[in-house]
Structure 1
Amino acid sequence: MSDYINEAVAAMNAKMPSGFDGSAKFDVTGEGSFVLDQDGARVDDSGADVTLSADVDTFRGIIDGDIDPTSAFMSGKLAIDGDMGVAMRLAQALA
């Protein structure tokens, strides 16, 4: 597990409101994975409603609010596999 995964988990727990409706797995290229659900973010590699895959810079930008998740998806920097409804609710929560 990388330092970035720990950093991302802490940032997501600070940023996200409690009770996120759904589960999302963040697959960070070359770093590892973490999951966000109604209990918060944690280091985990289990399945989820939706999996988002990108590199560290893209996820860092999304979490920091510097990159719009929809724009990242449309430009091919962010791959999404699974429930698009959950992905859209997540993007709104991160805005």
Structure 2
Amino acid sequence: MDLQTCTETIRAKVGDNSGLNATLKFDCGSDGVVFVDAVSAPNTVSNENTDAACTITISLKDLSALLNGELNPMNGFMMGKLKVAGDMGIAMRLQTVV
């Protein structure tokens, strides 16, 4: 899955009102970022590299696996496939969306 497909998948999962009430960024390094603004109404998802309350650093391959249900978020964190910076509570709430 490429970055644009990941962005569209996250946009569909987040919808207009995800209930996250926070900003979140998936940082895929040189492959780009997916920024989720779940504070705005309706929620928006873009590829802007903007500061977020929580940043999840993850490879594009692992983000694809996460979105496809092939990678459990908690297992990915424990295995070091994703790293969380900022508000860990936001990352925990994300499990209900992704």
Give TM-score scaled by structure 1 length.
0.87
Q: Shift in Å at residue 56 of structure 1?
A: 1.3
- Whose helix proportion is higher, 1 or 2? 1
The residue type paired with residue 93 of structure 2 is R
Is the 8 Å Cα contact of residues 19 and 37 (structure 1) preserved in structure 2? Answer: no
Matched residue count: 92
SS of the aligned residue for 1:93 comes to coil
The residue type paired with residue 37 of structure 1 is D
Is 1:71–2:75 an aligned residue pair? yes
Gaps of 5+ in 2: none
Q: Identity over the aligned pairs, expressed in percent?
A: 26
SS of the aligned residue for 1:13 comes to helix
* 1:1-95 alignment runs, 5 A limit: 4-20=2-18, 21-38=21-38, 39-94=43-98
Gaps of 5+ in 1: none
Q: Which runs of 4+ in 1 moved over 3 A?
A: none
SS of the aligned residue for 1:88 comes to helix
Q: Shift in Å at residue 54 of structure 1?
A: 1.1
The residue type paired with residue 16 of structure 1 is V
The residue type paired with residue 28 of structure 1 is C
Give TM-score scaled by structure 2 length.
0.85
- In structure 2, distance between residues paired with 1:65 and 1:16: 15
Is the 8 Å Cα contact of residues 3 and 60 (structure 2) preserved in structure 1? Answer: no
Q: Shift in Å at residue 37 of structure 1?
A: 1.8
CA RMSD of aligned residues (A): 1.5
Q: Shift in Å at residue 17 of structure 1?
A: 3.6
Q: Structure 1, residues 30-77: CA drift from partner, whole Å, max 9, x if none?
A: 201120122221111000010001111110011111111111011101
